[in-house]
Structure 1
């Protein structure tokens, strides 16, 4: 089961976030990603979900510079660059209520990775 220490080792961008907050969010993620997941994917999915939730809540920016909430630098990543760190977020075409409940996970890189694991663990079922 992931701890704030293992979470921050995997996602060092969240080092500035308090261990107490990380643990609270990990607890939520652990509740959502339970025993029905493949054991080999469970801890990774829990950490990805926690990273997604923290990002949607505005972390680590909120902790580091006091930016307010999830509106600061979150959303669907349009372009990412590793050398000299550059991330460009896409502007959603509309903010209507239509769409899948799962589409919220597409708003962060962590959520996208979580969705991939979710689909591997719970593939769509076709009825013939």
Structure 2
């Protein structure tokens, strides 16, 4: 599994986070992946997934734990906002919320990894 140093070489924007939090999310991300299925893209995919999870963690911390919801409509006059309905089924939408998750999806598509059931 890649180290914090490996992660920060690819994603230096996370340098301000503590090493222990990055290690924790590295462990989480790589626990969700099968090294044999990912082959040569295992490390890149895992690092992208780590960055995605860390970003979501930061958003959640900044928003006092409130869930992130996709904005589907917005008005200015008389202020109106609409959010997408949350789904209990995990789909690719979870990964599309960050650029890092989108990179993870792109790599996952290259290796042909389908749905994973935990």
Report the TM-score when normalising by structure 1: 0.67
Query: In structure 1, what is the equivalent of residue 76 of structure 2?
Result: none
Question: Which runs of no fewer than 5 residues in structure 1 stay unpaired?
Answer: 76-90
Secondary structure at the aligned position of 1:38 is classed as helix
1:110 corresponds to 2:100: yes
Query: In structure 1, what is the equivalent of residue 39 of structure 2?
Result: 39
Query: In structure 1, what is the equivalent of residue 85 of structure 2?
Result: 96
Give, in whole Å, the separation in 1 of the partners of 2:107 and 2:4: 21
Q: Residue 35 of structure 1: CA displacement?
A: 2.0
* Residues 48 and 104, structure 2, Cα contact 8 Å, conserved in 1: yes
Report the TM-score when normalising by structure 2: 0.72
Query: In structure 2, what is the equivalent of residue 85 of structure 1?
Result: none
The higher radius of gyration belongs to: 2
Query: In structure 2, what is the equivalent of residue 120 of structure 1?
Result: 110
* Residues 71 and 84, structure 2, Cα contact 8 Å, conserved in 1: yes
* Residues 33 and 46, structure 1, Cα contact 8 Å, conserved in 2: yes
Give, in whole Å, the separation in 2 of the partners of 1:10 and 1:69: 28
Query: In structure 1, what is the equivalent of residue 78 of structure 2?
Result: none
Secondary structure at the aligned position of 1:105 is classed as helix
Q: Residue 22 of structure 1: CA displacement?
A: 0.3
Give, in whole Å, the separation in 2 of the partners of 1:18 and 1:27: 15
C-alpha RMSD of matched pairs (Å): 2.5
Q: Residue 39 of structure 1: CA displacement?
A: 2.1
Deviations 1:15-72 (A, max 9, x none): 011110000000011111222333210000000000000000117xx6xxxx45577x
Count of aligned positions? 101
